[in-house]
Amino acid sequence: MLDLSREHGAFRAVVRDFAEKEIAPNVAQWDHDHQYPVEIVHAMGDLGLMGLTSPESLGGAGDDGDFVSLCLAIEEIGRVDQSLGVTLEAAVGLGINPILTFGTPEQQERWLPDLVAGRALAGFGLTEPGAGSDAGATRTRAELDGDEWVVNGAKQFITNSGSPITSLVTVTARTGQRENGSAEISTVVIPAGTPGFLVEPSYDKLGWHMVDTHPLSFTDCRVPQDHLLGERGRGYAQFLSTLDDGRVAIAALAVGLLQACVDLSVEYAGQRQTFGGPIGRKQGVAFQIADVEVMLQASRLLTYRAAAMKDAMTRGASGAPTAAEFKHAASIAKLYATESAVTATRIATQVFGGYGFMEEYPVARFYRDAKILEIGEGTSEVQRMLIARGLGLPVE
């Protein structure tokens, strides 16, 4: 996919206008105060951003939305602020999509309308103190007691899990043991406020200061048996599918950051005067900005290509890629775009010189926010492993 449709272009313009008018004027103060702007989350819902991958019957965009549109929205929000960009990414990719993909019609009708409208948020509880990239090492347990699941365990680094409007968290848990001795992993939905479900105090993070991120604990936490999401024992496969989509969305977030670095660096280099002229005429500065532009264009194409592959699979289009081909493309986009974004923020900060180290300039915030892109939704090391496997290499 090299060119966006006219509709995608118009949609991008709408989201960009929203981001520049509603987010940009306030984001520095929100970041400084570690303030969670609930009103902006609701506004993103009112704009339809939460429902871009959902059917009209649940309040979503239906045929007017697709995964490319979601990536465009994440990119444009992320160009102004990464915290709100990832809040949108997690709200849809980790909150809505697992229920939309694996939930029963009754579960979808029960939980999705508020999530799709942006009236509520949901988290996805995968990572644990001893189980991050090694998700098979999950220790949280869910045992069936009569007609209820009893959940015990802990999760960490869970986005949108303790906000004022969080309505539920979907968690992976051991529900038994397979004949080969491996853990049976299933997925259970736990509504906010369920007795035994404790949201611990939020983290003091290097970046993403406006993102709602908490450790969670479950102590004899009981939910009805019908809160099992999807088939019992398929939780591991479900989360792998969820992460494939999420990797493309995080790549889109990185593209937004790359665009911001280009925009800010070009503007500053054209205005900052030294030795009788703008610093942008110096090759040492201009060439670095040119390198960021190359990384931006390559990252955007890789991301749009993977997003278009996802849409082709969803539509069942003729010649649509296989799940393995999409997984390969998702990892490539995520790896290249996120590592490029980290490099771009370092270059942009250097272009700004001493001012780049000052929090009053957005490049300082972007520099702090960038690093997590190489970690969340699968580290760079995990992406290289998946890409190598996709090439047929027997990498462990």
Asked whether the predicted pLDDT for residue 299 surpasses 90, the reply is yes
Is the entire prediction scored with pTM above 0.75? yes
DSSP 390: H
Give the CATH number for residue 66: 1.10.540.10
If asked whether residues 288 and 182 sit together in one domain, one would say no
**Residue 331 falls inside a structural domain:** yes
Asked whether the predicted pLDDT for residue 132 surpasses 80, the reply is no
Asked whether the predicted pLDDT for residue 361 surpasses 80, the reply is yes
User: What 3-state DSSP class applies to 143?
Assistant: strand
**Residue 395 falls inside a structural domain:** no
Tokens standing for 138? Answer: 């999950």
Give the CATH number for residue 269: 1.20.140.10
**Residue 49 falls inside a structural domain:** yes
Q: What average pLDDT does this structure show over 287-306? A: 98
Asked whether the predicted pLDDT for residue 273 surpasses 60, the reply is yes
- Answer with the one of 233, 262, 297 that is the final residue of a domain: 233
If asked whether residues 140 and 70 sit together in one domain, one would say no
- Answer with the one of 96, 119, 142 that is the final residue of a domain: 119
At 12 the pLDDT is 97
Residue 381's pLDDT band (cuts 50, 70, 90): very high
If asked whether residues 60 and 32 sit together in one domain, one would say yes
Q: Which residues constitute the domain of residue 286? A: 236-390
Span 87-120, pLDDT tens digits: 999 999 999 999 999 999 999 999 999 999 999 9
At 180 the pLDDT is 87
Cα 370 from Cα 82, distance rounded (Å): 8
Q: What average pLDDT does this structure show over 25-30? A: 97
If asked whether residues 260 and 317 sit together in one domain, one would say yes
- Answer with the one of 169, 198, 233 that is the final residue of a domain: 233
If asked whether residues 189 and 255 sit together in one domain, one would say no
The count of C-alpha atoms lying within 13 angstroms of the C-alpha of 193, restricted to the half-sphere facing its C-beta, is 4
Cα 174 from Cα 152, distance rounded (Å): 10
At 239 the pLDDT is 86
Asked whether the predicted pLDDT for residue 68 surpasses 60, the reply is yes
If asked whether residues 107 and 244 sit together in one domain, one would say no
**Residue 336 falls inside a structural domain:** yes
H helices within the chain, ranges in order?
6-18, 27-33, 38-46, 67-80, 82-90, 97-102, 105-117, 235-271, 283-315, 323-352, 362-370, 380-390
Percent of the residues in the chain that have a pLDDT greater than 70, as a whole number: 99
Give the CATH number for residue 174: 2.40.110.10
In this structure, the number of other CB atoms found within 10 A of the CB of residue 139 comes to 14
Active site residues: 377
Span 250-260, pLDDT tens digits: 999 999 999 99
Asked whether the predicted pLDDT for residue 1 surpasses 60, the reply is no
If asked whether residues 161 and 243 sit together in one domain, one would say no
At 186 the pLDDT is 96
**Residue 251 falls inside a structural domain:** yes
Number of folded domains in the chain? 3
Mean per-residue pLDDT over the chain, rounded? 96
At 240 the pLDDT is 85
Percent of the residues in the chain that have a pLDDT greater than 90, as a whole number: 92
Q: Do the beta carbons of residue 337 and residue 330 sit within 8 Å?
A: no
Q: What average pLDDT does this structure show over 266-287? A: 96
Cα 372 from Cα 370, distance rounded (Å): 6
If asked whether residues 346 and 385 sit together in one domain, one would say yes
